[in-house]
Amino acid sequence: MIDEFYNIIGNVGTALQHLIFPMLFFFLFAYLLKRKQAVTAFRTCLPNSIFNISIMCFNLIFISLISSHLKWLYSIDIGENLSQIWASLPEWLVILSATFCGDFIGYWRHRFEHSRILWPSHAMHHSDTQMSWLTLQRFHPFNRMSTLIIDTGLLMCLGFPPYALVANNLIRHYYGYFIHADLPWNYGAWNKVFVSPVMHQWHHAAEPAAYNTNFATIFSIFDRAFGTYRVPGLCHIPLGVPYNVGGNILGQLLYPFKLSSYLKKSKAPQAKSIDT
């Protein structure tokens, strides 16, 4: 028990250390783009950033405590033929394929998170009104678990080797930091292929026209192919959820346990059909 406690504390400490590099990276970007306004922007998003780091630590502890019950995820029976196909290809191509397939899986998983059944656990992520790169850490533990099980489980069913799974997670994770950052960047013609920070800001916009749009993490081609792409320009619309999903960490952790959270059809953007 004591060893497990120290392992959990060690995991939290390691995760906090891994925030140092992206923190310096995005602070530099903010300074280059906003100069003195970067300090004001930092103060504005500080309360939400503290929330995001706090829920990140909570999720690490939660997942560490139940990790022994997830061993079945890594014993999924995968087809030998698929594994042999990936083994015959260059590693760079396998990593690219895993990332592409991972984003396709993530696109549909994300759309499902905006359906009525999963939205109450996904609402925490959208409750950040001052979106920054740290918003990527703002997830309810239920949402973290569903992402892990669906994304990793399906990639394993496709026979991808462990190194490709790790590469996919790292690439999509760090690119996720980038698209959540407060950067007024579009990619011009490349918007048709890749997700930009502005594109994802529209996903978090608190206006009906933005609901159920821009679900991909890396490849915007999925949103374009399935009719959910929308980037009308730079996003100057307020961000967040247009109703209360809990005023603090405890309130948002308890939000999915309330029956009323699943009945907000008239107010909730996510209550629309995912087929719209």
- Model confidence at 58: pLDDT above 90: yes
CA–CA distances in Å: residue 28 to residues 25, 47, 52, 78: 5, 20, 20, 44
Regarding predicted confidence, which is higher, 10 or 251? 251
pTM for the predicted model, two decimal places: 0.88
Predicted pLDDT of residue 223: 98
Question: Left (φ > 0), alpha (ψ -120 to 50) or beta: where does 35 sit?
Answer: left
Tell me the C-alpha to C-alpha distance, in Å, between residue 6 and each of 18, 61, 62, 210.
Answer: 18, 11, 14, 44
Q: What is the pLDDT of residue 33?
A: 79
What are the residue boundaries of the structural domains of the chain, listed by start? 2-271
Write the pLDDT tens digit of every residue in 124-167: 999 999 999 999 999 999 999 999 889 998 999 899 999 999 99
Q: How many helices (H) and strands (E) does the chain have?
A: 12, 0
Say yes or no to pLDDT of 181 above 90. Answer: yes
Least confident window among 104-108, 176-180, 264-268: 264-268
Residue 158's identity, in one-letter code, is L
Provide the token pair at 223.
Answer: 């949103």
Q: For the chain, give percent helix, strand, coil, nearest 5.
A: 65, 0, 30
Predicted local distance difference test score (pLDDT) of residue 238: 93
Residues in contact with 201: Cβ distance below 8 Å, sequence separation at least 6, in sequence order: 131, 235, 239
Tell me, what's the pLDDT at 103? Answer: 98
